[in-house]
Amino acid sequence: MRHFLILYFFSTSIFSFGQDSKWGDSEADSIRCYENYNNFGSLYNGRSYVEAFDPWLFVYNTCPEAKEVIYKIGPKIIHAKIKATDDSLKRYELISLLLRVHDDNNIYFPGKEASVLAKKAYDFYKYYPKKHFEAYKMFNSALNLDPGSLQTAYLNKYFNAVVNLYRLDSLDTEGLLNGYSRVGESAEAQTNNWNQRITTLTEKDTLGTISSKEKRILDNDIKRLNQVNKLYRNIEKKIAPLLTCDRLSLIYNEENLEVHLGDASWLRRAEKMLSKERFDTTGFNDCTDNPIYYLIAQSLYDLDPSPQSARSMGLLSIKNEKWNDAITYFTSAVDGEVDPIKKSRDHMRMAQINQKVGNLSSAKREIVDASRLNPSSGEIYLIWASVYAQAAGQCGNNVFEKNAVYWAAVNKLKQAKNIDPEISLRANKAIANYRKGFPDKSISFQFGFKEGDSYRIPCWINETVRVEF
């Protein structure tokens, strides 16, 4: 009876495949497709990719609509086969097959056209590294469909094509900067969501309420965000020589602005390129001193009053020392922004504005909001420390209390170093400077404090510090 049941089940399974056109046009095709499907799946799982090629190819040719996994793992199997093949003609045929598989993926299992097309462009460029323009066109087609669906590796490859075309004089400087902007826009479309999730899940992780699934999502988002940051560093190295303000002024000028006055995309890219911070021997700077920047920022804000355009107007207000206007614009940017990292930067700017005009309690409130939104930023704590140090002489009724703020400032600098070791040099320099303002032993003793004691700083700082000399 047991053997009969097994035989009956096998027979009915075969019959059901025979009725399903996705598993071939005949019952015989269905049987062989299913056998080869299981075969290549087992070989793939065992990492025998070359051996998996023949059974995979049979399934692909005979029942291409059977399962989406045919197209998900097929490229890796073909890559292995290409690598194991010395014959140039066979390699060419395999590469053609690889590109066709990507096209068929979009035919039989639509819904991820941009991602699949970008993968095709990536593979094409891998095997035809001198065909820059063809790869460039493929990548642009994918970006036009859905810029937020391209993986970091694809964006890096795309920008390689852009740079190579520029070096061959097939793209002008504006084309190069447009390619750079497209990479940034694509990455930004993805990082906005990651940053939101990271902020939410990091808070849950700190509170101990995060689930194992959420922890995996958090780790994965952080990993992908690090990959994007690495991508930015790589392309910055390639484009940095062209990011001088003098060069940008040749592209972003009144004549070009007149042509693109109603083009929000052009205005947005121009604003980003001119306001982009870059580091040189004088520290961080941008190109917002260019007179055209005001016209671009104003035109963008009038055309598209978005968080980014409000941010631009805020930066302009800072340049013109219109502090109240700057606060208004940055508040508008914060209210409309979805990315917590960008919100954090806006709060940082408002903290610095309040610090500039001497409104230190408001500066602290803004910097606390900034740190809550981006707890991994050491830069925030550098500003926080400077706000506390600026309060020297204001918080307290005597020389001990008024200088105790330096202990709080140094505490923030230590936090900055722990969060971001790359800013240790700047933090250490500030620590050495602030230590000079510590209340000395004799004064502290007069007010009843010795090394190691705790002291609560009054006023808006309202923090407990450890007495040290």
How far is the C-alpha of 128 from the C-alpha of 137, rounded, in Å?
14
With contact defined as beta carbons under 8 Å apart, do 22 and 39 qualify? no
Over the stretch 397-450, which tens digit does the pLDDT of each residue have?
888 989 999 999 999 999 999 999 989 999 999 999 999 999 988 888 888 888
> First CA to last CA across the chain, in angstroms?
89
Beta-bridge mates of residue 35: none
Q: Taking Cα atoms as reference points, which of 83, 267, 239, 264 lies closest to residue 176?
A: 239
For 69, counting Cβ atoms within 10 Å of its Cβ (0-12 exposed, 13-18 middle, 19+ buried), the class is middle
- Across 298-319, average pLDDT: 90
Dihedral, CA atoms, 92, 95, 97, 103, nearest 10 degrees?
-140
**What does the alpha-carbon distance between residue 298 and residue 310 come to, in Å, rounded to a whole number?**
9
Closest CA to 132 of 176, 88, 93: 176
| Alpha-carbon span 154 to 120, nearest angstrom | 10
Question: What's the whole-number mean pLDDT along residues 152-180?
Answer: 92
Query: 395 and 405 in contact (C-beta within 8 Å)?
Result: yes
Report d(CA 157, CA 162) in Å as an integer.
Answer: 9
Chain segment 84-102, per-residue pLDDT in tens:
999 999 999 999 999 999 9
Cβ–Cβ < 8 Å for 296, 269: no
Please check whether residue 391 is in contact with residue 403, taking contact to mean a CB–CB distance below 8 angstroms: no
CA distance 384 to 370: 10
Instruction: Please indicate, yes or no, whether the overall pTM of this predicted structure exceeds 0.75.
Output: no
Per-residue confidence (pLDDT) for residue 17, from 0 to 100: 39
State the pLDDT confidence band at 327, using cuts at 50, 70 and 90: very high
Return mean pLDDT, the chain: 88
Q: What are phi and psi of 25, to 5 degrees?
A: -90, -10
Q: Mean pLDDT across the stretch 256-260? A: 91
Task: Please state, in angstroms and rounded to a whole number, the distance separating the CA atoms of residues 71 and 377.
Answer: 41
Give pLDDT, residue 18: 38
Q: Which has the closest alpha carbon to 384: 369, 372, 367?
A: 367
Q: Output the pLDDT for position 206.
A: 82
The torsion of the CA quartet 184, 178, 309, 231, rounded to 10 degrees, works out to: 10
- The domain spans of the chain are 14-110, 129-242, 376-469
Q: Which residue has the higher pLDDT, 196 or 69?
A: 69
Q: What span, in angstroms and rounded, lies between the C-alpha atoms of 309 and 141? A: 28
151: nearest Cα among 189, 179, 125: 189
238 vs 26 pLDDT, higher one: 26
> Positive or negative, the Cα torsion across 122, 124, 130, 135?
negative
Range picked from 59-63, 238-242, 339-343 for highest mean pLDDT = 59-63
Lowest mean pLDDT among 42-46, 117-121, 311-315: 311-315
* pLDDT (average), residues 196-220: 89
The pair of structure tokens assigned to 348 is: 């940082």
Identity at 277, one-letter amino acid code: E
- Token duo for residue 355: 């610090």
Both tokens of residue 108?
């039989």
Q: How far apart are CA 31 and CA 28, in angstroms?
A: 5
Q: If you count them, how many residues does the chain have?
A: 469
Query: How much is the pLDDT for 187?
Result: 87
Backbone torsion region of residue 172, taken as left when φ is above 0, otherwise alpha when ψ lies between -120 and 50, otherwise beta: beta
Single-letter residue type at 234: N
CA distance 290 to 442: 54
